[in-house]
């Protein structure tokens, strides 16, 4: 049975997911790691559909980190092939669900067979307004921050911005996520309790849900359970519990 949707004010607008555990899922079953990634790629689509069905507005999926190039070339190539396969198979249907598709990370370093379909998908869906699907590919939060800091420094040198007047928004507007709301919820599968260079600045006030489930077993039901867990959390943004809880004593 699928989980109920939390009431609107308890529903995250933007969810980020660190999809982890594909390798362990495969090795538990005596399967090659790529089989874990293949099953993980199928789950990815199931979770996108679940997010849309629950009324979440934006989903950012950490599909390939800037550090993942250190993996064996065969695994890296296999991951990109899976990415291209999943895109080709589901793009049309996702487009019918009004999904706007974008990427964060440096995709210029990726092979053409995936980079070109990705760029085409971004261009073809740019006017869709139903749901934002952001795929983090060759992404690292520190790399993104350095790039934004360089832009700020260049603008300061060019006299376009006064260094003393720089505010958080000036940096945030130069991050790759500019225009997107900050994530309200970050989910990490496979029980690891790390952010692993994912949306470090944007997640400053995000709630974090860690689930022991390996990504290939994390489907619509588990996503719904994570939303339920989020709905129970009290977000304080530095305030006291009394300040943020609505008063119930008025007569």
Point out which residues bind ligand FPP (CB under 6 A): 19-24, 37, 40-41, 44, 63-64, 68, 79-80, 82-83, 86, 190, 215
- Residue number, 20 or 176, with CB nearest to ligand FPP: 20
Burial of residue 31 (number of CB atoms within 10 Å: 0-12, 13-18, 19+): middle
Q: What residues contact residue 43 under an 8 Å CB cut-off, 6+ apart?
A: 19, 215, 216, 217, 218, 219
Closest residue to ligand FPP in the complex (CB): 23
Minimum CB separation of residue 165 from ligand FPP in Å reads 40
Give me the least distance between CB of 106 and ligand FPP, in Å please. 14
Nearer to ligand FPP, 85 or 205 (CB): 85
Catalytic residue among 20, 138, 184, 197: 20
DSSP reduced 3-state for 99? strand
Catalytic residue among 22, 49, 68, 197: 68
Active site residue 68: yes
Nearer to ligand FPP, 41 or 187 (CB): 41
d(CA 187, CA 203): 11
103 vs 202, which CB is nearer to ligand FPP?
103
Q: Phi/psi at 174 (nearest 5 deg)?
A: -105, 0
Among 190, 236, 196, which Cα is nearest to 209's?
190
CA distances from 210 to 11, 93, 195 (A): 17, 30, 10
Q: Are strands 58-65 and 14-18 parallel, antiparallel or unpaired?
A: parallel
- Cβ 209 vs Cβ 185: under 8 Å: yes
- Is the CB of 6 or the CB of 36 nearer to ligand FPP? 36
User: What amino acid positions are annotated as catalytic residues?
Assistant: 20, 68
């Amino acid at each position: 049975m699928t989980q109920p949707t939390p009431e609107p004010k308890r529903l995250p607008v933007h969810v980020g997911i660190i999809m982890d555990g594909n390798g362990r899922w495969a090795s538990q079953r005596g399967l090659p790691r790529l089989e874990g990634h293949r099953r993980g790629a199928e789950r990815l689509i199931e979770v996108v559909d679940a997010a849309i069905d629950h009324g979440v507005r934006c989903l950012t999926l950490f599909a390939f980190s800037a550090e993942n190039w250190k993996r064996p070339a065969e695994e890296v190539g296999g991951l990109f092939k899976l990415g291209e396969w999943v895109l080709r198979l589901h793009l049309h249907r996702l487009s019918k669900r009004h999904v706007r598709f974008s990427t964060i990370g440096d995709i210029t370093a990726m092979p053409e067979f995936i980079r070109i379909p990705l760029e085409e998908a971004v261009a073809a869906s740019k006017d869709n307004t139903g749901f934002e699907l952001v795929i983090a590919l060759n992404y690292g939060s520190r790399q993104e921050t350095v790039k934004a800091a360089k832009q700020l420094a260049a603008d300061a040198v060019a006299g376009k911005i006064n260094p003393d007047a720089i505010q958080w928004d000036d940096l945030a507007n130069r991050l790759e996520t500019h225009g997107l709301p900050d994530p309200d919820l970050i989910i990490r599968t496979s029980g690891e309790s790390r952010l692993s260079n994912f949306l470090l600045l944007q997640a400053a006030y995000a709630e974090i849900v860690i689930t022991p489930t390996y990504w290939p077993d994390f489907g619509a039901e588990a996503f719904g359970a994570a939303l339920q867990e989020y709905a129970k959390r009290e977000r304080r943004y530095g305030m006291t519990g009394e300040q943020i809880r609505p008063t119930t004593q008025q007569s």
